[in-house]
Amino acid sequence: MTAPVQDPLAALAAAAPSKTAIVEDERRLTYAEFNALVNRYANLLVDHGVQAGTKVVWCGRNSTVVVALISALRKCGAIGVPLNYRLSPEETTYVVENADAAVVVFDAEQAAQLEAASQQVEDVRAWLAWGGAAPEWASSLDALAAKSPETEPVPLGADAAAGTSMFYTSGTTGKPKGVVRDEPDPELVLGLVGEIGFQPGDVYLTTGPLYHSGPLSFMLIVQLMGGTVVVMRDFDPERWLDLVERHQVTTTFSAPTPIRRVVDLPDGTIRRRDLSSLQRMIANAAPWPFELKRRYIEKIGDGSLFEVYGSTELGVDTILRPEDQLRKPGSCGRAAPGVEIALFDADGRAVEEPHVPGDLYVRGAATFNAYYKAEGKFRDAGRGEWLTVGDIAYRDEEGFYYICDRRTDMIISGGVNIYPAEIEAVLTAHPAVADAAVFGVPSDEWGESVHAAIVVTGQVTESRDSKLS
């Protein structure tokens, strides 16, 4: 009989028990202490009947508890379902019910968000709250975990070797969809680690919310390599600088908005910090405008910016390395290790020519398996073994890809395909524009006309070089 594979966190706790695993404010846990906390949560979940394949929804801002729950669910073999803490009560109820959740674990400050679900979703057998007084319809995770053993859990179920996650994503229309994925393919993860250059001594800062697949996945890469996680509960640009300097942060993952807020700080505020430890900034969640990349390189440093293109459904598909950021404006990079990319035209023919847009499809071991309870939408995303999320792209002569836009966002005006993302990139390059959204409106003359909404941060004036109205 084959011996069970040791959980990677347990192995790290045994090999380096005194190494710092996680830091939040003034609280610091070693790997031994963190693994013990994870085990208390895992054993508590097992006591509540959580086993291989059980779906457990969790909801809360970034915290030590959230990071520990993610590993506890893995040790139980459960399917973790991260819930966006910004959803309305109605959206929350839909996700909890649609996911067939058996247990919901949440930060007590999210009680108002979840109360309607607690009354309407009958199949949830336990509601567990942490971090404050539990509402009357829930139990205290903190009190129960304090009595739970720190020993390695014994998972229930024959296949409780490793858990998976199901992330809900809505795209731009319709109800949120549960994206079902297997555990990451080890070879693909190793390829990504090698391409970006992660190291066992990395220190990861949670710039983005961990309910998002990107910040969570890259955090786990660092953690399961024996690195340190620095938890930032709520984003603040000056505090972000302080944490990078204080903890010698080497890597993080960020959407464009937080870093835009950082580089918008006065130059003196940035320059008085030592940010030289930051070696791997992973840019994703939304395209970083070229002007933001330029300002990041100017103010934070050259050589650390990696942009990845990907999605919850398809994983990481391309990587743009630091040396190509300014050389390839608008590109999201070449295909990631182990990933195949193809472009198809409207008739389903492969697009081989450079600079010709087509629907972007991906084939590889990192793609998703299904949309939960939405088999038709999953079929719509496929072309044989190839899968898409509806993006249009082209490639250049060197194999670098450029995302034009999501097909559903494309504007057709006078018979011409117009990609809002390209116009938004031009608008946000203006120093007085913080953000922009471009969209089509009905037009009797053109079919659709192009309109833009912009957020202005400074004085906008007309000049020979730029004009905004």
Q: Are 88 and 110 in contact (CB under 8 A)?
A: no
Cα-only R_g, the chain? 23
Which domains are present in the chain? 26-162 (3.40.50.980), 417-456 (3.30.300.30)
> How does pLDDT run across 191-245, given as a tens digit for each residue?
999 999 999 999 999 999 999 989 999 999 999 999 999 999 999 999 999 999 9
pLDDT digits (tens, 9 = 90+) for 351-362: 999 999 999 999
Q: For all residues of the chain together, what is the average pLDDT? A: 86
Q: Are 237 and 265 in contact (CB under 8 A)?
A: yes
Contacts of 190 (CB under 8 A, 6+ apart): none
pLDDT higher than threshold 80 for residue 316: yes
What value, to the nearest 5°, has the Cα angle with vertex 167 and ends 161 and 168? 150
- The burial class, CB within 10 Å (0-12 / 13-18 / 19+), for 153 is buried
DSSP 324-387: GTTTSTT--BEEPTT-EEEEE-TTS-B--STT--EEEEEESTTS--EETT-HHHHHHTEETTEE
Work out the average pLDDT over 33-47.
Answer: 97
Distance (Å) of CA 108 to CA 99, 189, 197: 21, 35, 38
Beta bridge partners of 443: 447
Overall average pLDDT of the 150-156 stretch? 89
The structure's pTM equals 0.86
- Write the pLDDT tens digit of every residue in 172-204: 456 788 988 777 778 888 999 999 999 999 999
Confidence at residue 287, expressed as pLDDT on a 0 to 100 scale? 81
Nearest 5°: phi and psi at 261? -65, -35
